[in-house]
Amino acid sequence: MGDIHAVCVFCGSSTPPDPRFREAARALGTLIASQGIDLVYGGGRVGLMGEVADAALAAGGQVRGVIPIGLFSREVPHQGLTELREVGSMHERKQVMYDLADGFVALPGGLGTLEELAEVSTWSQLGLHAKPVVLLDVDGFWSPLVTQLDAMVSVGLLRPAGRGLIQHARSPHDALAALRAAGPGRPGTWITPAER
């Protein structure tokens, strides 16, 4: 069981019309704050990003946003955060978010969310960190990805240990429980000497 002091949440900068997405983001932000966990996220004021941050702040939580300066014209920075870090690039943004967090939760999102999720999971597979990763499903949003991950295992492109690095939860409570219960994230040697 690992101690979770800060959770990085990946999520969309858009707001889907289905209110369940906003409700899930707000419930996660509220729960994180109520458990004394810091929220780390992409620093935006709008979309699901804004929802999770606003909910955590309203519940008295500490919220740290990380946003690239060049994205200010596209992503509106949240000015009411505990801390807003301005960085020079998307790569630096991800590195700072990863460094600040003890675990990661992916709410629904678009390509940016998918890219962040893939990168942090790959880093874990390579042994660069041992921080847990959880998909927080909303109405089956992540089900196609879960099916694809299982297909990668079935054809031999992903080892079962690698597949196990990405957990799946259906509620904010389950997501935080999965983070706490996760063991070390390293699945062992990724490429054996015989495979080189």
What is residue 193's predicted lDDT score, i.e. its pLDDT?
Answer: 47
CA distance 193 to 60: 50
For the domain made up of 6-183, the CATH class stated in words is alpha beta
What confidence tens digit (pLDDT) does each residue in 55-73 have? 999 999 999 999 988 755 5
pLDDT higher than 90, residue 137: yes
Cβ(61)–Cβ(32) below 8 Å: yes
CA distance 13 to 112: 9
* Whether the model pTM is above 0.85: yes
Q: Parse the chain into domains and list their residue ranges.
A: 6-183
- Measured in degrees and rounded to the nearest 5, phi and psi for residue 70 equal -65, -15
